[in-house]
Chain A
Amino acid sequence: MNNQQQHQKTMERVQQGLDRRYRKERHFRWLGLGAIILGLLFVSFLFITIISNGYTAFQQTYVKLDVFYDPEMIAPIGETDPEVLSRANYGGLIKASMRQMFPEVTNRREKKVLYGLISTGASYELRNAVMSNPALIGSKAEVWVVADDDVDMLIKGHIDLRLPESDRRIKDNQLGWIHLLQEQDRIEKRFNTTFFTAGDSREPELSGIKGAIAGSFFTLLICLTIAFPVGVAAAVYLEEFAPKNRWTDLIEVNINNLAAVPSIVFGLLGLAVFINFFGLPRSVPLVGGLVLALMTLPTIIIASRAALKSVPPSIREAALGIGASPMQTITHHVLPLALPGMLTGTIIGMAQALGETAPLLMIGMVAFIVDVPGSVMDPSAVLPVQIYLWADSPERAFVERTSAAIMVLLAFLISMNLLAVWLRKKFERRW
């Protein structure tokens, strides 16, 4: 067989196999594409449910009342003493206004149901109005006040009117009054500022996430101020100074293991060490931050070491070669180049910490706290725990608030991750 024939034969063989090879490649591509589409489907399903459940929480139903700031019920005209003004019976003003609107309601039981259309928080609104402007006393005004959460749910269409009356939170007589109010244009949906300016509350229409956001902020602040410097210092030592021996190997293995420890274990550790041993108070961001710092430390150390490793040795050699000391080499050249990578790792660690719930439950950050925390020593909730608490509440109005809080949390997480991506892009390989 001469060379020409041999070549001919080879080519035939190759041709035969070619089809099969390409088919395999096509199949693999379809498989990959399918996996991606499936993933995207899940993600979009998640987003669609959360958004469709939660967007209504950003609106709140208000009712317009004609309020007479009755001097007899508040204080004589001209009174400015805040002490007196704050103690007055503002709930009575609202009740009076309601009675005036629906004079036909006389039965005590029915009256109580009528008053229930308005949130208990409405009296605080009136009080605040009077206290900031005592001249109101004696005047009449139209005031928009927060409706009760059941009314809110009805207006938003979350109450099924086909159910028998006894199964509904809104009774038939309430329905009638609400229709009347609607006919008079006294009911309106407005932007729900309370959601962003209040702490937690038993009443859904009065509850907000400001307390949780502040709690998360303080917790992350503590976490960052501890985990970042400690993590970077540990990484620099391990990467640049530590001798390579069995001890450093052991440390390295342990750090990697620590990263894989379930987060609840850190919560137990925090409970034992910070609360039981050091006697720090429960439910405070200080302890939460310490626990989360323990948890994110391995992430930061590992990311920082990777960032240090990726600095080309030629830069170190250049610096050492003109007589920079090892410390100067690190602080002047290696660290600045590794910093973006370290920051990226830190932000991702922080994002993890922000979404962490389990260890915080262990240290008591699951308490019901109404006040917005003002420092790291004030008891507080954090966003994910707030979500957990609301998800557990029976009121329908908390369902949409749960989803809304999830949206806020996701917004924070996504912006943190975008920041990390942006940092990485911006400082990508400059050498």
Chain B
Amino acid sequence: MIKLTLPVDEKMVRTLKVGDEISLNGRLVTGRDAVHAWLAKEKPQEIRDLLQNTMIYHCGPVVKKKGDSWEFVAAGPTTSIREEPYQSTIMKEYGLRGVIGKGGMGKNTLKTLQKIGAVYLHAIGGLATLIAESVVGVHTVIKLEEFGTPEALWVIDVKDFLTIVTMDSHGNSLHDTIFEKSNKRKQELLKKPFTL
């Protein structure tokens, strides 16, 4: 298990390889469809500092208000591929060092990871409660009124958030490797007809 603390620099990120288990710490931001469209189209200035050298987590959390502060109740990852049309532009534009989500992303994102020195971290799908518990602080929230709770940009601090590197900055994708292997095994199995 590698302990990774955000923000992080390019050099560190380039040492990460597909298959590495990462315990993620530090500050990151959540964002799904609305946030991606907003960042790509309107290029807001005010949040550049927040995004520089950190990562964006594809997550629409369930959040509870406690007095003046917020608490994350459920925070599992959402499917990343929906952001494929925006992801490369956003990573380059804001100097992000990675993306966290589930299901992996496409060829464009993989190319960009390689080019700028960033990674795709895969969280465990369905881990609503456990991941929410690794959110130890909610720093601030942006666009809450306009986008609503799941779609807003939450700036959070995490501790020991378990993820796996499935796309690295060397052009490798665990999704491709596993697909090829399993597909080969399938071809083998299909050669033998099923009989009782």
A and B co-occur in one complex? no
